[in-house]
Amino acid sequence: MQFYREGNINKGYLKVKWFGIRIINRKISPGSSKEKKQKKENKKSKFDLKQVPKMLELFEESLPSIMDIFAAFLKAVSVKKISLDSIIGFDSFVDTVKICGYLYSIAPMINLIPNTYFWIEPDFHERRIDGSVLLNLKLKLLPLVSAFLKALTKKPFRSLLGELRKGRS
C-alpha cells in the first residue's frame, strides 16, 4: 500500500497478493472517489436513531468476541516496511521550525523500530504539508477467519451483525 500527495491531490496504489498470486492491483485516484460520493448522495439513508440503544447493548454483550477478533488481527498482521516522507511549511518561519523541531525529536525514536523510515523536510518558502506513505504489511488470514467464525457461534455477535445490516440497508 502506498499513498502520496501531489499538490492538493491525494493518490495511491494498493496491491494484495496471496501465495504470490496478485488478487488486487489498483491505483487510487481522486476521480473514483468523486463518482462514489455522487452515488452515495443519490442513495438515501434509512438509518433510524431508535436502533442505536439496541446496537450499543448488543455491542456491549459481544465485546469479548470483538476483542478476540481484534487480538487475532494484531497477531495476524506483521509489518514488513513503513516509510513516511513529509514536507512541512507554514506562513511563519518560527512555526515551521517549531513543528519540525518537535518532529525531528520524535524521528530517531521511530527510526529505531526495524524496517521503519521517518523523514521530515522543512519548507520555508511556501505554506504546505505534503508527503508520501509506504506501508508494506503481511496478513495471515487463518487466525482472523478462525476468530471470526468462533465469534459467529455467539448469539450476541450474530445479533449485532444483523442489526448493523438492518441499519445499513
Is the domain of 20 the same as that of 100? no
> What tens digit of pLDDT does each residue of 103-149 get?
999 988 988 888 899 999 999 988 888 888 888 888 888 898 999 99
Domain extent at residue 135 = 63-153
Is the domain of 68 the same as that of 122? yes
The pLDDT assigned to 15 comes to 77
Tell me the three state secondary structure of residue 44.
coil
Is the domain of 37 the same as that of 92? no
17, part of any domain: yes
Greatest Cα-to-Cα distance within the chain, rounded to the nearest angstrom: 60
The pLDDT assigned to 11 comes to 76
Is the domain of 34 the same as that of 106? no
The answer to whether 103 and 109 are in contact (CB under 8 A) is no
> What tens digit of pLDDT does each residue of 11-59 get?
777 777 777 777 778 887 776 555 666 666 666 556 667 778 888 999 9
In DSSP terms, 138 is beta-bridged to 78
The answer to whether 11 and 29 are in contact (CB under 8 A) is yes
Is the domain of 77 the same as that of 140? yes
72, part of any domain: yes
Is the domain of 81 the same as that of 117? yes
Is the domain of 100 the same as that of 37? no
Per-residue pLDDT band at 2 (split at 50, 70, 90)? low
Work out how many domains the chain is built from and give that number. Answer: 2
57, part of any domain: no
Element (H, E) at 150: helix 141-152
32, part of any domain: yes
Is the domain of 84 the same as that of 111? yes
Which pairs with CB-CB distance under 8 Å and at least 24 residues apart come from 44-50? Answer: 46/169, 47/167, 47/168, 48/167
161, part of any domain: no
112, part of any domain: yes
Is the domain of 36 the same as that of 92? no
The pLDDT assigned to 169 comes to 62
- Length of the chain counted residue by residue: 169
Q: Half-sphere exposure of 105 toward its Cβ, with a 13 Å CA cutoff? A: 5
Is the domain of 30 the same as that of 70? no
97, part of any domain: yes
Is the domain of 31 the same as that of 101? no
C-alpha cell at 72: 487475532
* pLDDT for 99 beyond 70: yes
- Distance (Å, rounded) from C-alpha 111 to C-alpha 120? 12
Is the domain of 90 the same as that of 129? yes
The answer to whether 150 and 14 are in contact (CB under 8 A) is no
Judged on CB neighbours under 10 Å (0-12, 13-18, 19+), 97 is middle
